[in-house]
Structure 1
Amino acid sequence: MTTFFTADTHFGDAPLVARRRSAFGSVEGHDEALIARWNAVVAPGDTVWHLGDFAAGASRPYCAAVFARLNGIKRLVRGNHDTNRVLELPWAEPPVESARLTVADALGRPWRLFLSHYPHRSWPGFWRETRHLYGHTHACLPDTSRSCDVGADACDYRPLDLATLLARQEAAPLAPEEMAARGLR
C-alpha cells in the first residue's frame, strides 16, 4: 500500500481548464485525462491525500460520479473551492483544514508531514524536520528543500508518492528560513 498526494484537480471547472491552456480541449477531456492519470498510479488499496480544490463549478451528482471512478482510499484537506458538494463525498474520514501525519518511505523510515491546501513559510514541526505539502498555487511557487506544491499543475496532473516528492525537495534550494533552521545563516 502506497500513500499518494495531490491537489487542485478542479474537476468540472471550465474557467480553470481554459486557463490551463492545455491539450485537454474541454472540461470533459480534462476530467477524463485526470481520472486516467490518477488511476494509472493509484491502486484500489492505496491512500490518496487530496489537499483541496477537488472540484469547482460541478454539480453534486457530477462530483459523486468522478469520485466513484477514482482508485484509492481518499482523504481531503479542504481547499477554498471545496463546498458541501465536495465535503459531503464519502471520504475515508471527515475532511480537515490541515493534517499532521507520519508516512514511512519504501525503506520504512518515517517522514513527518504537514498537509495544507495553502503554502506556509513556516508550519508545525518546521524546526523538527517536518516536511510541508500544499496545493493552491498551481505551480507558481518553486519547491524548497522542505516544502512543495502537490497540485495537479505541478505534478503532471497525477498524484505523486512520497519518494517522488522527497526527491523534488532534496533537489530544491534552501529557502532563507530553511537555512536558518540548519544554522547556515
Structure 2
Amino acid sequence: MSDFAPRPFSSVEEMNQTIIDHWNEKVSPEDTVYHLGDIALYFVRPERASQQAVLDVLNQLNGHLVLIKGNHDNRALFKFLAANNPIFGGRPKFEFHDVGTIVKVNHRQYYLTHYPMMMGIVKQIINLHGHIHHYAVGAKENINVGVDTPEIDYLKEKPAFGAPFSLAEVEEMVQGKFEDFQKRH
C-alpha cells in the first residue's frame, strides 16, 4: 500500500499509468479536458527534471488540456509547460488559467476553479472545483469534481479512477446533488 491511501497503488508510477490508461480510454485526441488544479506533486532536483517528468506524463494524455492553477501548482511549472507546449491538432495542447474559467452549456454557467467558491444563491451557475479531496461543500451549487470526490455517489455508473468526468456525468452530479438537497431542506 502506498503513502497516499486510500489509493490502492504500490507506487506513484503504477498510479500514473492507471490514470493515463483510464483517461485515454475515455478522452479522444480531439476532446478538451479542464483540469482544475494540482496537476502534479513531483519534487525532485533539479526542478527542471521534475517539470520534464510532469510534461512527459501530460503528453501521454489524449486531448487538449485547459489547466487551472491549484495550490500545489507553482508558476515555474506553468511557465515550463507554456514554453514546451506542443502543437496538437493544429493548436497548443495546453491552455492556462490562474484562477479559473467560465464554460456556458445548456443555459447554465459552470465556473471552473480549483478552490470552491461560495457565490450565494445564483440560478443557473454551478461551481465545479477540486482542492478539498474527500469532502463536498454543503451547497448544491458547488460540485467537487476531483479524482477522489465523494460526489461520485450521485452517478449511476462510476468512472474509472483518473478518467475525467464527461459533461453528462457532471450534469448527473449536479442533478443528483440538487435532488438530495430538495429531500433534506
TM-score by length of 2: 0.73
Mapped to 1, the partners of 2:169 and 2:112 lie a distance apart of 16
Q: 1:144 to 1:162 in 2, by over 3 A?
A: farther
Structure 1 match to 2:143? 148
Q: CA deviation at 1:82?
A: 0.7
Residue ranges of structure 1 left out of the alignment (5+ in a row) = 1-16, 104-108, 180-185
Q: 129-138 or 81-90, which moves further after superposition? A: 81-90
Mapped to 2, the partners of 1:79 and 1:87 lie a distance apart of 11
Matched pairs, number: 153
Structure 2 match to 1:135? 130
Matched, 1:66 2:73: no
Match 1:157 to one of 153, 162, 165: 162
Contact 1:143–1:168 (Cα < 8 Å) also in 2: no
Match 1:100 to one of 99, 102, 124: 102
Structure scoring higher RCO (CA < 8 A, sep ≥ 6) equals 1
SS in 2 for 1:133: strand
Mapped to 2, the partners of 1:122 and 1:99 lie a distance apart of 15
Matched, 1:23 2:25: no
Mapped to 1, the partners of 2:77 and 2:168 lie a distance apart of 28
Per-residue CA distance 1:55-113 (angstroms, 9 max, x = gap): 1124011011001101111111110011145313135333331111213xxxxx34311
Structure 2 match to 1:122? 119
Structure 2 match to 1:183? none
Q: CA deviation at 1:145?
A: 3.3
Residue ranges of structure 2 left out of the alignment (5+ in a row) = 44-49, 86-92, 153-160
Q: Percent identity?
A: 29
Mapped to 2, the partners of 1:139 and 1:145 lie a distance apart of 16
Structure 2 match to 1:87? 78
Aligned-CA RMSD value: 2.2
TM-score by length of 1: 0.73
Q: Which amino acid aligns with 1:75?
A: V
Mapped to 1, the partners of 2:76 and 2:56 lie a distance apart of 12
Contact 2:19–2:162 (Cα < 8 Å) also in 1: yes
SS in 2 for 1:62: helix
Match 1:168 to one of 173, 178, 182: 173
